[in-house]
Structure 1
Amino acid sequence: MAVRVLAAGLAGLVAAAGLAACTPAPSGPPVAVLFPGAADDDWGASAEVLRRELADDGYAVEVRFAGDDIPRQLEQLREVLAAQPAAVVIAPVDATAIAAVLTPDAAGEVSVIAYDELILDTDQVDYFATFDHRAAGRLQAQALVDGLGLADDPDAGPFAVELLAGSGDDRGAQDAFAGAMEVLQPYLDAGRLTVPSGRTDLEQAAILRGSPATAADRVAELLAADVPLAGVLSPSDAMSGAVAEVLAAAGVEVVAPGARWSAAPLPPEGEPSATPTPPGATAPPPDATTPPHTDAAPDSAADAAHDRAAPASVVLTGGGSTLDGVRAVRNGAQTATVYEDPRELARAVASMVREVVEGAAPTVTQGATTDNGVRAVPTLLREPQLVATVEEARRVLG
């Protein structure tokens, strides 16, 4: 046993010596990365990609996580700025709180890059890197339109849909909803899409902090009111997952990836057709006093419910930077998602840091700036990816 321990110890020393010989100590400029979350979550995975990209080039990278603790991140920023690194990459816990610490005196010559969410109300933000959320909204809306067959069939519709949006104070949510409405508004104006809830602008459609429970409640209320819902525009996979559970509980299927919405199936030829029963409702027995094939008005709430067509299925979109939505598409539980690969954003920001430290203007999207309330910040926009078939989902998942 002692021999094995000694051998293992020697092997460890040799391996460590070899690693030290192959991996030089960081000699490049110091770079600080301040993220929400923790080392073992999605933020940690993104930070590791960013750290590794820079460390491989010899940069001395310090990564700190603040969870959802605003004061903690502000204190981290104070400490980092006191050391005056070459660059700081910040994904803010709170976009407005950072300005209290990120002052001209504190920032000095430090280059500041806002990551994923823009830091507001300060002129000390040099660059901003994020995904093109407006493009993501357009892709989500187009997936809804395609799933309903509106583009393929000029006579398709009208379809009842529900529009969900992220938090109204989130710039990304604002852009995504604006992009979605660029695609959907012509169909709304033409009457081919309807929104029975009346939530057709951001203020009405927004859901505080993107709460999945609130999204699920909205859809459940529509189903309980016997609305023949045919589609749900959801901006996030977390919302979509909660909505999918509500649909399943009501006996409503999600339109499969790559498929098109279809009405309730027709009965075999020669058999009389029947109006489908709304989800959760029980069809009332025929009224013996009403002759068949007449247009007599229903004389009860149950009869009225029976006469309203239930949706055969619902087109359900989604989006986000985790693989949950991609897996849902692969498994047929979600019609489509718009994937924002966090590794791609991390690699792009690593390139920006290198360029800034070397004294070059970093690569940003031509003509793209984002107003943070004080200045127009040069912005790098990464393109999101529509995943609308099982094959596409499998390719993303590898």
Structure 2
Amino acid sequence: MRNKILSLILSVAMVTTMLVGCGEGSTTDKSTVSDSAQTADSANVNGKKSAKGKTVGLAMPTQSSERWISDCANMKEQFEKQGYKVIAQFAEDDVQNQVSQVENMIAQNVDCLVIAAVDSSALVNVEKQAKDAGIPIIAYDRLLMDTDAVSYYATFDNKGVGVAIGKYIEEKKDLKVAQKEGKSYTIEFFMGSPDDNNALFLYNGIMEVLEGYLKDGTLVCKSGRTSFDDTCILRWSQDTAQANCENYLTGFYAKEKLDIVCSAFDGFSYGCKSALEGAGYSVGKDWPLITGQDADLMAVKNIISGYQTMSIYKDTRLLAEKCVKMVQAVLEGKEPEINDTNQYNNGVKTVPSYLCTPVPVDKDNYKKVIVDSGYYTEEQLSK
């Protein structure tokens, strides 16, 4: 009998000890237990951990362009709303700086990398480091070349941007009529950086529309610089665009006016504006048609004042949203939304992509497209 009582006492003691151990540092409130169970359930969907609370590294090219500042801010805001931690860094167009920043993010064990590259082909080694560490990579707006480490690509339809610029020139200068009547217009080209894969896509889109007019003389490029190699501008440099434009105006347009500045970037358009003003051109008199891309705040102001004719509006809020959803899907073990599986071969693999649609904006539609959508306010544009 004594042994039975002793055994009963020991059993009660063991159960009590187990209960105290389980409750240490926690609460036994029913709602907490329920919440914990729900958290555990939501954290394991088909055996995959939830992306909530994870860290995303944003490697951006530069803060010298308003566009990249907006992209980073949009993504950071949307990621943080979803519960992610964000490490965001700008490389200031320095390749080695970006390599070091990405290496640092890998060392901090980020769960996913979003990279908008300074040089699309210069990150191969650090991308391999990420892959070896099990960190997925999303290419943001600039395709990462020569690597199998990139999982997906979020961008705008870059060839579509070029086609839109080409068609705008075709329509505004009525090139089909000019072709029939034997009229011609002078044109010079300012294309994107050779280390950015998007730049070639954009150039090809422009030439898809304009090449025939160059061949039959409807469009005349007096500098003779029409190939991508002859017109590309390293690192999208505004200063180089201005210097090139100044040289063209001095060397080829002393006696004849330049009619069209085919610019692939708003920054180039600013440089060309300065060159044209220096050469004595004036708005309303002999100012050429000037294109652009990104619809920066200054570009839209220039469109309103007549210093720039058009730009390509790329709603970075939408691109950021698509990228955030892409990262979420990857970290949750799901398939992200994709609408292109053919165009973007990086030399190693064809990268599944989501392409957002670009929209041309000018003086006639900027209010409807940009102001009404809340991208900029009338107050911002009037300052």
Alpha-carbon deviations, 1:241-280, whole Å to 9, x = none? Answer: 222233334343457xxxxxxxxxxxxxxxxxxxxxxxxx
Counterpart AA for 2:53: G
* Aligned counterpart, 2:29: none
Q: Is the 8 A contact 2:119 2:195 kept in 1?
A: no
Indicate the percent of aligned positions where both proteins have the same amino acid.
Answer: 30
Match status 1:174 vs 2:200 = yes
User: Contact 1:38 / 1:44 at 8 angstroms: preserved in 2?
Assistant: yes
With 173-182 and 162-171 compared, the bigger mean Cα shift is at 162-171
In the alignment, is residue 148 of structure 1 matched against residue 148 of structure 2? no
Aligned partner letter, 1:348: K
SS of equivalent residue, structure 2 residue 79: helix
Q: Does 1:233 align with 2:262?
A: yes
After superposition, residues 281-300 of structure 1 pair within 5 angstroms as none
Corresponding residue for residue 330 of structure 1: 304
Q: What residue identity is the alignment partner of 2:167?
A: Q
Judged with a 3 Å threshold, the aligned counterparts in structure 2 of structure 1 residues 208 and 48 are, in CA distance, closer, same or farther, namely closer
- The residue that corresponds to 2:327 in the other structure is 353
Does the aligned pair in 1 maintain the 2:340–2:355 contact within 8 Å? no
> Residue type of the partner of 1:221?
T
Residue 249 of structure 2 aligns with which residue?
A: 220
Which residue does 1:124 correspond to in 2? 149
3-state DSSP class of the match of 1:79? helix
> Match for 1:61: what amino acid?
V
Work out the CA distance in 2 between the residues paired with 1:74 and 1:163. 32
TM-score (norm 2): 0.74
- Could you tell me how far apart the structure 2 residues matched to 1:329 and 1:175 are? 25
Q: Secondary structure at the match of 1:157?
A: coil
Matches within 5 A, 1:1-398: 27-38=52-63, 42-103=67-128, 107-151=132-176, 154-155=180-181, 157-210=183-236, 211-222=240-251, 224-254=253-283, 312-320=286-294, 322-392=296-366, 395-396=369-370, 397-398=376-377
Q: Is the 8 A contact 1:144 1:316 kept in 2?
A: no
Amino acid at match of 1:166: G
Deviation, 1:358, is 1.9
Contact kept? 1:196, 1:227, Cα under 8 Å: no
The structure-2 alpha-carbon separation of the partners of 1:168 and 1:88, relative to structure 1 and needing over 3 Å to count, comes to closer
Residues 106, 243 of structure 1: alpha-carbon distance in 2 compared, 3 angstrom cutoff: closer
1:150 and 1:156 in contact (8 A); partners too: no
**Post-superposition offset of 1:38:** 4.9
| Shift, 1:174, TM fit | 1.0
Shift in Å, 1:121: 2.0
The Cα of 1:30 is off from its aligned counterpart by: 2.5
Within 1, Cα distance between the matches of 2:355 and 2:141? 10
- Secondary structure in structure 2 of the residue aligned to 1:337: strand
Aligned-partner Cα distance in 2 for 1:105–1:243: 40
Give yes or no for contact 1:81–1:106 (8 Å, CA) kept in 2. Answer: no
RMSD of aligned residue pairs (Cα, Å): 2.7
The Cα shift of 1:352 comes to 0.8
Say whether the 8 Å CA contact 2:120–2:196 is kept in structure 1.
no
CA apart distance, 1:65: 3.2
Counterparts of 2:231 and 2:298, CA distance in 1: 23
SS at match of 2:351: strand
